[in-house]
Each structure stands twice: as structure tokens, then as C-alpha cells.
Structure 1
Amino acid sequence: MQIATYVIILLAVLFLLSCFVTVQQGTIAVTTIFGKYNRSLPPGLNFKIPVIEKVFKRISIQNRSVELEFQAITIDQANVYFKAMLLYSVWNQQEETIKNVAFKFMDERSFMQALVRTIEGSIRGFVATKRQSEVLGLRRDITEHVKEQIDQTLEEWGYHLQDLQMNDITFDEAIMRSMAQVVASNNLKAAAENEGQALLITKTKAAEADGNAIKIAAEAERQAAQLRGMGVALFREEVAKGMSLAAKEMQQANLDTSVILFSMWTEAIKNFAENGKGNVIFLDGSSEGMDKTMQQMMAMNKLMDPGMPKK
């Protein structure tokens, strides 16, 4: 009798426990009654009809990722190898979306195969319209094309493509070598152009510096010549003033002013002899030559003396 009681209590407990089901966070449980969709259960502890209501599938509403590796052919018959990462999730938690996720495919493997083949087919179709040289610069365009092409299809399945990252795009080894050679030659060309520009700038700056130096030197020489001329003019002016003053004093003393000229003549000969430094200077030392020179110097003295009457 006691055994029967224990059995009844155990069955009652099991029956009571079968009335509840626990759903983990990040998932939604789908239940059926006699094989037909009944409802979805949110995360937490849920009550269900015992015996007749069963949990058909637990659906993850978290983000999921899958890596893809496949090959495509460009319009110019070049093989392109892709490595990509696909990020997707359930579209939303509405009842119709959950029903599509739960019953659209027979199992998870069938869904993954359809998803991967659909994305690969979309990328292959896009790459088939492009040239090999264009593919490397079209990562974003490929992603946008895939989203545009399959978003509606994935929505009908209850899913949403969040991101498609092209991690690696490669070509056949021969093409990779040729591309590397093209890049290397372009770099050498750019380096040569930069070096030429740098040399041109250097020579231009050097020429400008030389031109400025020549201008500065010419300006300095011009100023020096001007100053030398001013010095000579001042010297001549002072000599003329001294000679005029000496001539006036000698006239007041009733002396012959030609003595001044004679003194200047002898002083000049003396300077020639002292400072000649080996140079040969020919002077007419005869009395006729001296008389001629004296007459010329007296004529110059008359021209330089403003107080003397001019004929």
C-alpha cells in the first residue's frame, strides 16, 4: 500500500514538473500540439500543457557568424579566391518570424547550406561582371551588392544579414607576381619622379641663390665705385681748395705762384721714385720738358682758380 502511494506521489511530481519548461536567455522555444505550431516561449520559466504540448525547437536570437572560403571568376577569366566572415541573426522576435525560422528548413544544416550558397552565388555573379584589376578595390561594393540581393530572401527565411567582411582576396600565383611587379615598377617610377622634382627644386634654388649673390655683389661693387668716386672727387676738391689758398697767399706776398706747381712736380717725381715698386715710368726730365709741363700745370691752375680772369 505504501509503495503504491509513493508511486502515485512520484507520478504527480513528474506530471507537475512536465507542466513547466525553462528557456535560456538568448533563445526562444517553439512548441507544437500534435505536430502543429502552437506558440513561442520567451526566456525564463514557462507553463505548458503537459503531455500534449511539446517543445519543437529552441531558436537562438543571438548573433551568429560563419567563415566562407570560395572561388569566383572575373570577366577576363582570372580566378579570385575569397575568404569572408558572415555575421547574421534572427530578423526579430515577432511570431511570424519565429515560425519561419523554426519551420522553413528541415534542420540547421540545410539552412546553413542554403545561406552560404546564396551568398557565394551573389558574389560570383557580381565578380563575373568585373575585371581582375578592379576586384581589389571593390570590397565595399561587393558587400553592398550582396546585402541588396539577398536581404529580401533572408527576411523570408526569418534572418537578417548584419555584416559581410572580405578578409582576404587573392589570385593565382602568376597574377600575384605580375601585380607585385606592376606595383614595384610604379613605386620606382614615382620615386624617380620625386627624385627628379627634388633635383629640379635644388638646382632652381641654387640658381636663385647664385643670382641673388651676383645681384648683391654687383650692388656692393656699384656702391663701392660710387664711394670711391666720391672720395676722389672730395680729394680733388680739397687739393683745388689748398692750391687756390696757397696761390692767393703767394700773390699777396708778391711771389710767383708757379713755385707751387714746381713743388708739386718735384714732389710727384719723388713719390714715383719711392713707391714705384719696380715699375718703369718715363718722364721728360729736360728743361724743355719741364717748361712744357709747367705751362700745362699753370693753365690747369688758372682753370681751377675761380678768382682768376678767363680769356
Structure 2
Amino acid sequence: MPSILTIIILVVLILFLLGAVFMVKQQTSAILERFGRFNSVRNAGLQFKIPVIDRVAGRINLKVQQLDVFVETKTKDDVFVGLKVSVQYQVVKTQVYDAFYKLESPSAQITSYVFDVVRAEVPKMRLDDVFERKDDIANAVKSELNDAMTDYGYDIIKTLVTDIDPDEQVKEAMNRINASEREKVAAEFEAEAERIKIVAKARAEAESKRLQGQGIADQRREIARGLEESVEVLNKVGINSQEASALIVVTQHYDTLQAVGTENNSNLILLPNSPQAGSQMLNDMIASFAASSQIGEEMKKNKTSNKEA
């Protein structure tokens, strides 16, 4: 049977072997110290150390990390606004020593610089400019952080302004302004559409009246031509022009009476409308034409006498 001393030696040996081996994960670096002083940086894989003498002081994450910082500040036009700045950073693999020993809290350091830069840049801008120039703010933060964090072994990969949140009352006012602008544009479009309708309607009415006038002119031209032909026909049978004109007027008078008579619901009354009206009208017109002709002859004689005198 093994002695107690042998068992103790085996246990110590196993503990020694276990203390001499440690694992380092991928994208991680381990800081190894010997008697409390920095000894070496160990990378991913199976690593060895001297038990009791060496110890793993800490591990550094080499992955790209993100820190979200919310900053509240005031713009140039006295509007309080909150900005969310996302900073993506990474430990430089060749500067693990600086990242572990030089900086106690990288997240607190980065947060301080973000606050400093944002509160220096945003008060120079109006609220609208903050929305339009958020990339300029992000670039300013990145530039400042790169200058400050490089000495500590950190590389700033990218900075993003991911959210801009003005005061609630300001957002309501902005929404009202936006709604008013949209209503104004809608009203302008409606007015323009109404103007186009009015112009189109006026043009259509003008064209209609032009065509109507042309039709009336053509109608009167044809009527005059028909009257001329009627007078010529009557002249051939011995009726002079005055009598022919009177006869045509009387004929049209009776044609009109006939047309009115065919309308069942017509309330039109032509005066005079007695049976003797046509004969009387014819006699009156012939007498009128004769009197007019005599007056014309007298005026011509008087004009000729005045010239001779």
C-alpha cells in the first residue's frame, strides 16, 4: 500500500501541473506577471507558467467593442437636445501592455472625451444643422478620441451619431411646422389645378363662341344669298325689288307663324297676328319703300341743283 507521503507528493505534483498550464481564448491576450512584475503577453492557445512564481494578472479582449454614450447639450438657438454617440474601438494587438497598465477604465475615458467634444461642437450649430451635420460631429469625436486613445493602446474604428432627440415641445413644434408646410404645398397644387380648370373652361367657351359666331355668319350669308336669288326670280316676273322685298318679309312672317303653331307647349305670341296683318304689313312696306324712294330722288335733285348753283 502506498504511504501517505507518496499520496501527498502525487497531489502536489498534480496541483503543480495544473497550475503550470492555462488556456487563452481566441481574440484574447493574457498578461503574465512574475513576482508582481510584468513578464509577458500570452496569446490564444495552450500556455505554460511557473506555478506560484507566475500568475495571470488579467486578460484583454481584442475584439471590436462598442460603447454607447448619451450626451445632453444645448444648440446655438437654445434648444436642448440629446445625442446618442456609438464608439467602436479595439485594443491594438501590439500595445496590449499599454492598454492593460496605462488605463484603468477605457469606457470612462472614452465617455469623457465624447462629452467634451459633443458639448464643444453642438453649441456652435442650430438645431437643423445638428441633423444635417451629424457626420461632422461624429468625425470630430473620432479625431479627438484617436489622438487621445492611441497612447493607451486603443484604436477608434468608427464613431456614429445614432440618435438625435430634441426636447418634446420642440419636436411638437417641428411637426406642426412640417404639417403647415405640407398643407401650404397642397393648397398651392389645388389652386394651380383650379387655375388650369378655369383657363381650360375659358378657352373652351371662347372656342365655342367663335364657332357659334362663325355658324351665325355662315347662316346669315346663306340667308342673304337665298334672298338675293328670290329677288332675282321675282324681278323676272315683273315684280320690282321693293315689292319683292316686302313679299319675302311677309312670306317669312307666315312661315314663322306656321313654325310657332307646330310647337305644342309654346307660349310665344307674335303681334300682329290677325288674318289681315299680312296684307296690311305688305301694303305698309310697299308704301314705305315708295316714300323712301321719292325722298331719295328729291335729295339727289337738291344736291344736283346746289352743285349747279
User: Would you call these one fold, judging by a TM-score over 0.5?
Assistant: yes
Return the letter of the residue paired with 1:188: S
Q: Which residue of structure 2 lines up, in the alignment, with residue 271 of structure 1?
A: 251
1:172-198 Cα distance to aligned partner (Å, 9 max, x none): xxxx53664465256436634642553
Q: Which residue of structure 1 lines up, in the alignment, with residue 5 of structure 2?
A: 4
1:99-153 Cα distance to aligned partner (Å, 9 max, x none): 1112113x4xx33322222221222222344456654544322211111112121
Pairing 1:121–2:113 present: no
Q: Percent identity among equivalent residues?
A: 19
Return the letter of the residue paired with 2:251: N
Change (3 A) 1:102 1:235: same
Query: Hey, what's the Cα distance between the residues in 2 that align with 1:119 and 1:11?
Result: 52
Report the 3-state secondary structure (helix = DSSP H, G, I; strand = E; otherwise coil) of the residue aligned with 2:116.
helix
* Match runs of 1:41-52 below 5 Å: 41-52=42-53
Q: Which residue of structure 2 lines up, in the alignment, with residue 150 of structure 1?
A: 145
CA contact (8 A) 2:23 2:44 kept: yes
Shift of the alpha carbon at 1:166? Answer: 4.3
Query: Hey, what's the Cα distance between the residues in 1 that align with 2:172 and 2:281?
Result: 89
CA contact (8 A) 2:20 2:49 kept: yes
Select 2:135's aligned residue among 122, 135, 140. Answer: 140
CA contact (8 A) 1:83 1:166 kept: yes
Report the 3-state secondary structure (helix = DSSP H, G, I; strand = E; otherwise coil) of the residue aligned with 1:62.
coil
Pairing 1:163–2:163 present: no
* Match runs of 1:63-78 below 5 Å: 63-74=64-75
Report the 3-state secondary structure (helix = DSSP H, G, I; strand = E; otherwise coil) of the residue aligned with 1:22.
strand
Shift of the alpha carbon at 1:59? Answer: 0.7
Return the letter of the residue paired with 2:58: K
CA contact (8 A) 2:29 2:44 kept: yes
Query: Hey, what's the Cα distance between the residues in 1 that align with 2:11 and 2:37?
Result: 30
Change (3 A) 1:71 1:188: closer
Change (3 A) 1:148 1:258: same
CA contact (8 A) 1:85 1:167 kept: no
CA contact (8 A) 1:84 1:168 kept: no
CA contact (8 A) 2:83 2:161 kept: no
Q: Which moved more, 1:10-19 or 1:139-148?
A: 10-19
Structure 2: give runs of 5+ residues left out of the alignment.
258-269, 295-309
Shift of the alpha carbon at 1:84? Answer: 4.0
Q: Which residue of structure 1 lines up, in the alignment, with residue 21 of structure 2?
A: 20
Return the letter of the residue paired with 2:195: T
Report the 3-state secondary structure (helix = DSSP H, G, I; strand = E; otherwise coil) of the residue aligned with 2:93.
coil
Provide TM-score, normalisation by structure 2. Answer: 0.68
Query: Hey, what's the Cα distance between the residues in 1 that align with 2:165 and 2:65?
Result: 23
Q: Which residue of structure 1 lines up, in the alignment, with residue 190 of structure 2?
A: 198
* Match runs of 1:52-71 below 5 Å: 52-71=53-72
Structure 1: give runs of 5+ residues left out of the alignment.
248-256, 297-311
Change (3 A) 1:270 1:16: closer
Query: Hey, what's the Cα distance between the residues in 2 that align with 1:67 and 1:272?
Result: 101
CA contact (8 A) 1:136 1:169 kept: no
Query: Hey, what's the Cα distance between the residues in 2 that align with 1:269 and 1:104?
Result: 123
Report the 3-state secondary structure (helix = DSSP H, G, I; strand = E; otherwise coil) of the residue aligned with 1:258.
coil
Q: Which residue of structure 2 lines up, in the alignment, with residue 220 of structure 1?
A: 211
Return the letter of the residue paired with 1:216: E
Q: How many residues align?
A: 272
Q: Which residue of structure 1 lines up, in the alignment, with residue 107 of structure 2?
A: 112
Pairing 1:102–2:93 present: no
Return the letter of the residue paired with 1:224: G
Q: Which residue of structure 1 lines up, in the alignment, with residue 303 of structure 2?
A: none
Provide TM-score, normalisation by structure 1. Answer: 0.68
Shift of the alpha carbon at 1:98? Answer: 0.8
Change (3 A) 1:70 1:209: closer
Pairing 1:211–2:202 present: yes
Return the letter of the residue paired with 2:147: Q
Change (3 A) 1:185 1:71: closer
Shift of the alpha carbon at 1:22? Answer: 0.6
